Amino acid sequence: QVEGWAARYRRAKTDDAPDFEPIMDWLGDKKPKDTDHPCIVHNDYKFDNVVLDPADPGKIIGVLDWEMTTCGDPLMDLGNSLAYWVEKNDPEHMQVMRTMPTHMEGALTRQEILDQYEKQTGRSTRHFDFYYCFGLFRLAVIAQQIYYRFFHKITNNKRFALLIFAVINLEKTALKLIESSDL
């Protein structure tokens, strides 16, 4: 996945976009071994892809958007999901990208989610920096691919002009993560 997403980013890169090369290099260098417990990976699991029970909003009754599903490492799915997760104490450049109520009182932090994941699955998240960084990068690639179409006038939706800021902000977050990582 690292090589595939890196190739997508390089094809979609515009002159005003960061190059992400240090991040792609780090991801390539820190790639974990293949999981010994592969499972179904949704690849876009987030709040707006689940249907909640109106009578019990804590209960998921449906999952949408299965077209990117594959078999693989479940931590890839968790990293992709948490790339969307903006906490109340995250920097302002991430707050402006928040699309879900993950910052509200009572919302778990990313660390609390990892702790629950370990407790419920028995799997370690010690090397989670890789998966979270990959999730941030993957999200940047998706934003850059859409922005590329706007930049080259393939589409004229003015909202897409703002995606370059998401790409820049995601790069900033990924670089900070790499700087603090012990991997």
Q: Which residues of the chain have pLDDT under 70?
A: none
- Quote the CA–CA distance of 136 and 54 in Å, as a whole number: 31
- Quote the CA–CA distance of 165 and 182 in Å, as a whole number: 28
pLDDT of residue 65: 96
Q: Which of 22, 148, 43, 46 is nearest to 97 (CA)?
A: 46
pLDDT tens-digit series, residues 13-58: 999 999 999 999 999 999 999 999 999 999 999 989 999 999 999 8
pLDDT of residue 169: 97
Give the whole-number percent of the chain exceeding pLDDT 70: 100
The two tokens of residue 148 are 């590329």
Query: For the packed helices 110-121 and 74-83, what is the interaxial angle rounded to 10 degrees?
Result: 160
Please list the residues that pair with 48 across neighbouring strands.
Answer: none
Neighbours of 1 (CB within 10 A): 16
Query: For the packed helices 163-180 and 128-151, what is the interaxial angle rounded to 10 degrees?
Result: 160
Give the whole-number percent of the chain exceeding pLDDT 90: 98
Indicate the pTM of the whole model.
Answer: 0.94
Contacts of 159 (CB under 8 A, 6+ apart): none
pLDDT of residue 24: 98
The domain ranges of the chain are 2-35+77-180
